[in-house]
């Protein structure tokens, strides 16, 4: 019986003597040598290829010879102008064009299409500002807050109806923000006493934060720095500035609309003066002037002239018109003196200063007809030099759309300021107490310069009044020239305090903490007049501020000359420049 290792009828048998295997088939056994010889004979070829039976002559044609024959093809006409030739040439030209585009065209295209690197309102590329901060914060916010609704990115002007583009916004939606120095890329709260207006509170960064989607500035009854109250003031000084445009803020005013004493405000000032830092303000605030005449002189007079400067002014100060120190950085500045520039074509300096425009200063007044106390806002431009008796040309240059709500302010000025101002009744519901805590829109729209320049103030989302540039025209009696609508790069300021200088304070009726809430603040500019930054080439501020850093950082220096010990630049209207 076959073994379980059997392969059927074919088995290998081992020779007992030689040890070699033999193949057996049907009982016939073939030796290995015989098997090998039969295979060799079957598959071996003769050494003579001619005997193989194939056509091996080079003259014999084969079906695939055309693939290997280097000679010209049968259809070759001997000319380059064939479809294949043009295809080859086109391929070479395409490769050449790609190489040129890569190494020459791409660099040129990049150069001519690249966007100009922006300083985003700071001093350096990428938005580094004066304190070395990069304008990023929670949400990676730049100049425009990521929370600003897209529908608010453009709007038409209230007065000029031109299309406006959003250039800055802060929605204050992130709760818990703080504004100590270095905390925020654009805003910085101050830590000082605002002595210039005899404020009753100390301004402390602790008084400002964000809560429930709005900025909150608090005024509390608190013993601090030998004062009895603590308030807050913050600004974008030297971090974000703009020149011209529309600025809106949605605000809930602090306290109640029928209790006197609080002094909330949103305003703007030229960057060469820092609010609360007296040395920087002496000789700059509130000038807006570019002429060389008596308007630049101390007390607005020279050798007792004009007579009106001594007789047609503030009755509290012997009818003197001005106690200002004179415009420190005027068009009269002698060559070589300290001045931020630039120069006019005639070689004189451009008059520089720190004018002020108030979006609002909220107050409570008694209605003459009803005797009731009603909330109002005064909305003003604070300018120098002054008209005689502080009377500006408002007969045809003041536009008040609704006289039932707005009227010219009874306060016109004093020896320290002239106020082009109107008082308007507010939305009585938009207060912290006694109303619905709604947000009313206040703001300013303005165009700088002369001629068609103007300033419009907004109250509750509508124009309250407009001042045309001609209203600040020349005054021949005061012997001063026209004052332009502010030309300087302006920064934003928001504060809440108290002062008896501003009006009656009803200490027994005030409720603390008083809180001013700001839902948002937005800045727009005409699409063809974008001008953002604190150091524009036509009105630079950076180099000058860096030359006199203490004037802008030490609030204890209240004056330029006496405290800061700096020399006032020579004025060629008052003295001879050759005597330098």
- Would you state the pLDDT for residue 483? 98
Per-residue model confidence (pLDDT) at position 470: 98
Among 329, 168, 146, 164, smallest CA distance to 239 is for 168
What pLDDT was estimated at residue 11?
46
Strand segments, DSSP code E, in 179-336 are 188-189, 192-193, 201-203, 208-211, 214-224, 227-235, 245-256, 262-270
232 near 207, Cβ under 8 Å? yes
* Phi/psi of residue 405, nearest 5 degrees: -110, -35
Q: Tell me what pLDDT residue 112 has.
A: 77
pLDDT at site 137: 44
CA distances from 16 to 11, 21, 22, 36, 533 (A): 15, 9, 11, 21, 111
Quick one: which of 560, 13, 110 has its CA closest to 298?
560
Alpha carbon separation from 118 to 124, 320, 532 (Å, rounded): 8, 48, 10
Q: What is the pLDDT of residue 295?
A: 98
pLDDT reported for residue 318: 97
Residue pair 352/539 in contact by the 8 Å Cβ criterion:
yes
- Long-range contacts: 171-174, Cβ < 8 Å, 24+? 171/145, 171/147, 171/213, 171/519, 171/520, 172/210, 172/213, 172/214, 172/215, 172/518, 172/519, 172/520, 173/145, 173/147, 173/210, 173/213, 174/137, 174/138, 174/139, 174/210
- 3-class SS at 41? helix
Here the tokens at position 150 are: 């897209």
For residue 14, what are the β-bridge partners? 21
Under DSSP, is residue 346 helix (H, G, I), strand (E, B) or coil?
Answer: coil
Pairing of strands 245-256, 431-433: parallel
Strands 245-256 and 514-526: antiparallel
* Full pLDDT tens readout for the chain, 580 residues: 444 434 444 444 445 444 444 444 444 444 555 555 565 566 666 677 666 666 666 667 777 766 666 655 555 555 667 777 788 888 889 999 889 888 888 888 877 776 555 554 444 544 445 444 444 444 446 999 999 999 999 999 999 999 999 999 999 999 999 999 999 999 999 999 999 999 999 999 999 999 999 999 999 999 999 999 999 999 999 999 999 999 999 999 999 999 999 999 999 999 999 999 999 999 999 999 999 999 999 999 999 999 999 999 999 999 999 999 999 999 999 999 999 999 999 999 999 999 999 999 999 999 888 889 999 999 999 999 999 999 999 999 999 999 999 999 999 999 999 999 999 999 999 999 998 999 999 999 999 999 999 999 999 999 999 999 999 999 999 999 999 999 999 999 999 999 999 999 999 999 999 999 999 999 999 999 999 999 999 999 999 999 999 999 999 999 999 999 999 999 999 999 975 4
∠ at Cα 140 (134, 141), nearest 5°? 80
For residue 253, which of 170, 148, 337, 376 has the smallest C-alpha distance?
376
Instruction: Kindly give the pairing relationship between strand 454-459 and strand 440-447.
Output: antiparallel
Q: What is the pLDDT of residue 82?
A: 76
Query: Residue 502 has what DSSP assignment?
Result: S
CA distance 382 to 418: 6
Give the per-residue pLDDT at 40: 59
Q: Can you list the alpha helix ranges (DSSP code H) found in 22-82?
A: 32-43
Give the separation between CA 31 and CA 38, rounded to whole angstroms. 11
The region, left, alpha or beta by phi > 0 then psi within -120 to 50, assigned to residue 172 is: left
């Amino acid at each position: 019986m076959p073994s379980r290792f059997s392969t059927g009828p074919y088995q290998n048998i081992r020779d007992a003597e030689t040890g070699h295997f033999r193949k057996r088939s049907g009982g016939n056994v073939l030796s290995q040598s015989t098997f090998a010889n039969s295979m060799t004979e079957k598959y071996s070829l003769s050494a003579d290829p001619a005997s193989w039976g194939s056509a091996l002559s080079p003259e014999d044609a084969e079906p695939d010879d055309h693939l290997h024959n280097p000679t010209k093809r049968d259809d070759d006409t001997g000319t380059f102008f064939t479809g294949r030739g043009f295809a080859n040439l086109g391929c070479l030209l395409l490769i050449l064009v790609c190489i040129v585009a890569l190494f020459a065209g791409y660099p040129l295209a990049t150069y001519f299409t690249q966007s100009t690197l922006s300083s985003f309102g700071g001093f350096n590329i990428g938005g580094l500002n004066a304190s070395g901060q990069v304008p990023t914060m929670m949400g990676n916010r730049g100049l425009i807050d990521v929370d600003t609704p897209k529908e608010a990115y453009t709007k038409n002007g209230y007065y000029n109806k031109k299309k406006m583009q959003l250039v800055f916004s802060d929605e204050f939606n992130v709760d818990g923000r703080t504004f100590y120095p270095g905390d925020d890329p654009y805003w910085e709260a101050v830590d000082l006493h605002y002595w210039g207006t005899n404020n009753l509170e100390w301004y402390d960064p602790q008084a400002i934060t964000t809560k429930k989607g709005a900025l909150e500035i608090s005024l509390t009854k608190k013993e601090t720095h030998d004062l009895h109250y603590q308030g807050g003031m913050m600004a974008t000084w030297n971090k974000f500035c703009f020149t011209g445009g529309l600025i809106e803020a949605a605000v809930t005013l602090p306290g109640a609309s029928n209790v006197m004493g609080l002094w909330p405000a949103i305003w703007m000032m030229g960057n060469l003066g820092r609010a609360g830092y007296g040395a920087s303000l002496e000789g700059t605030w509130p000038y807006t002037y570019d002429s060389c005449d008596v308007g630049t002189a101390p007390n607005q007079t020279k050798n007792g002239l004009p007579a009106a400067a001594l007789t047609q002014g503030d009755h509290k100060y012997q009818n003197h018109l001005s106690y200002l120190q004179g415009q420190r950085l005027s068009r009269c500045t002698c060559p070589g003196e300290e001045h931020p520039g630039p120069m006019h074509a005639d070689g004189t300096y451009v008059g520089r200063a720190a004018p002020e425009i108030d979006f609002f200063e909220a107050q409570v007044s008694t209605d003459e007809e009803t005797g009731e106390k009603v909330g109002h806002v005064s909305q003003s431009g604070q300018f120098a030099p002054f008209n005689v008796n502080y009377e500006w040309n408002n007969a045809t240059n003041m536009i008040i759309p609704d006289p039932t709500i707005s009227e010219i302010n009874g306060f016109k000025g004093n020896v320290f300021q002239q106020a082009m101002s109107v008082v308007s009744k507010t939305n009585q519901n938009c207060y912290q107490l006694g109303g619905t805590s709604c947000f009313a829109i206040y703001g300013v729209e303005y165009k700088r310069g002369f001629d068609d320049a103007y300033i419009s103030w907004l109250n509750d989302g509508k124009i309250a009044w407009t001042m045309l540039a001609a209203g600040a025209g020349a005054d021949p009696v005061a012997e001063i020239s026209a004052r332009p609508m502010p030309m300087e790069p302006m920064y934003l300021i928001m504060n809440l305090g108290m002062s008896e200088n501003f009006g009656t304070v009803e200490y027994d009726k005030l409720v603390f903490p008083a809180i001013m809430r700001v839902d948002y603040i937005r800045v727009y500019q005409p699409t063809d007049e974008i001008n953002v930054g604190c150091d524009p080439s036509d009105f630079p501020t950076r180099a000058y501020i860096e030359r006199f850093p203490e004037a802008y950082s030490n609030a204890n220096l209240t004056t330029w000359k006496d405290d800061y010990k700096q020399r006032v630049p020579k004025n060629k209207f008052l003295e001879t420049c050759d005597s330098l």
